[in-house]
Structure 1
Amino acid sequence: MSDAQAAPARTNLLLVDDHQMVIEGIKTLLKSDGTVRVVAQANSGADALRCLHDHPSINVALVDLNMPQMSGVELTRHICASYPAVRVLALSMFHDHTSVMEVLEAGGAGYLLKNTTRAELSAAIANVAAGRTHFSQEVGQTLLQHLDVPAQRPSAAPVAELTAREKEILRLVAAEKSNQDIATALFISERTVETHRKNILTKTSCKSVVGLIQYAIKHKLLA
């Protein structure tokens, strides 16, 4: 998904996984990527929080979800609360709807599967560092397949009234289409797409695309 915010020249990355072999494998994959620097690594949630305290330059954390003591979702929640400038990219072998929604609700900016390629890993890190979101294709499909799931915590606030065009754009945003892709699909200008996106965010009182997707799913705006 596109955003006006530009990616930093280099992403300072924190790797978090309770298996050191996985960390070493990720470091090997990223070795040739000159835009990413692995600043720190941690084998537990507690270690990760210490790393963030000791390395304020970190701006992206790649977090394994399945960890003992403090789960990846719990860690994501702590990071988003205490280090809001750090973007969290979840890493997991599974992409069930419950796991994906837990990451989104905790404030995660993306969800990557462990069978990812070197190219997608680099792209995912670049996307979340730039303020965008990134979901593996299977994860995106999981989200779209469950758009009609009722909200577990219904909001007392009235549901935003979106126009037919805004709903159309919202569905394309949820499908991770860029402004250019949406403009081409709907035969409108990118400026018009951006205006609609801003209006949608304003109407729903959402601050980010991740929040917008959560809102849309909870209120069945895309069903």
Structure 2
Amino acid sequence: MSDTLTRINLLLVDDHQMVIEGIKTLLKTDPVVRVVAQANSGDEALRRLREHPEVQLAIVDLNMPQMSGVELTKHIRAGYPTIRVVALSMFHDHASVMEVLEAGGSGYLLKNTTKTELSQAIRDVAGGKTHFSKEVGDTLLQNLDVPAQRGPAPEQPVELTAREREILQLVAAEKSNHDIAETLFISERTVETHRKNILTKTSCKSMVGLIQYAMKHKLID
């Protein structure tokens, strides 16, 4: 999805209405982004999604009572797999960031984010990429669990073929094997083979570990 598209339709979720109003004010003059729904709780957010099938992206506060932002992210990704989620928080500890990634989140912003970064993050995530505030990215890299994720760290990233890099980029964008196969005009079996080869080459044990590795070595945008 590019900036040339007419709209990116948002759902804003935060238990503090002032935060929602602040985000709406930041985005008010953005010609691409449109807030079509808002909610002050996880349960309300799920109701809004049923009422607004046009939603493409949800910006979700992590620290909400009753249903946390991580729980809501899991519900959204399970029930509405085409909707992408950006987490919003005052904190960027490693555990919180990892919870968001494992729940299926595609971005993580701090509540002190600027209008420019907010707009760019929305475009990136709606376009199939990931977006993390600089502090969040630094937290991921500083806490990279080398022994658990990929064994001894080489000085240089492993060599991936052009096709493997293409597939890694699409995996990072949370594309399924079917979607990747259609995009690259190859079979799903070939995609699965490439994925296994990438994991083997990088010594990663999981997709989360692979994304961390790819970020560390700048293998994805």
TM-score, normalization by structure 1: 0.72
Q: Report which structure shows greater RCO (CA 8 Å, sep ≥6).
A: 1
Identity of aligned residues (%): 63
**Counterpart code for 1:27:** K
Correspondence 1:214 to 2:208: yes
Distance 2:213 2:124 in 1: 26
Aligned to 1:167, which of 146, 158, 180? 158
Report the secondary structure of 1:167's partner residue.
Answer: coil
Is residue 9–residue 35 contact of structure 2 (8 Å, CA) maintained in 1?
A: yes
Q: Name the residue aligned to 2:143.
A: 146
Q: Name the residue aligned to 1:92.
A: 89
Report the secondary structure of 1:37's partner residue.
Answer: strand
Aligned to 1:195, which of 158, 163, 167? 163
Distance 2:214 2:54 in 1: 38
Instruction: Give CA deviations for 1:181-214 in whole Å, capped at 9, x if unaligned.
Output: xxxxxxxxxxx7x5341355523489xxxxx861
Report the secondary structure of 2:35's partner residue.
Answer: strand
Deviation at 1:218, TM superposition (A): 8.2
Is residue 140–residue 212 contact of structure 2 (8 Å, CA) maintained in 1?
A: no
Distance 2:105 2:166 in 1: 21
Cα distance change of structure 1 residues 204 and 65 upon mapping to structure 2, 3 Å threshold = farther
Correspondence 1:41 to 2:38: yes
Distance 1:221 1:36 in 2: 27
Q: Name the residue aligned to 2:201.
A: none
Cα distance change of structure 1 residues 87 and 197 upon mapping to structure 2, 3 Å threshold = same
Query: What are the residue-to-residue correspondences of 1:1-223 with 2, within 5 Å?
Result: 6=2, 8-148=5-145, 150-151=147-148, 167=158, 194-198=162-166, 200=168, 202-204=194-196, 214-216=208-210
Say how many residue pairs are matched.
184
Cα distance change of structure 1 residues 17 and 34 upon mapping to structure 2, 3 Å threshold = same
**Counterpart code for 2:29:** S
Deviation at 1:10, TM superposition (A): 1.1
Q: Name the residue aligned to 2:174.
A: none
Deviation at 1:146, TM superposition (A): 1.4
Deviation at 1:149, TM superposition (A): 5.2
Is residue 92–residue 136 contact of structure 2 (8 Å, CA) maintained in 1?
A: yes
Unaligned 5+ runs, structure 2? 172-193, 199-205
TM-score, normalization by structure 2: 0.73
Q: Supply the RMSD in Å over aligned alpha carbons.
A: 3.2
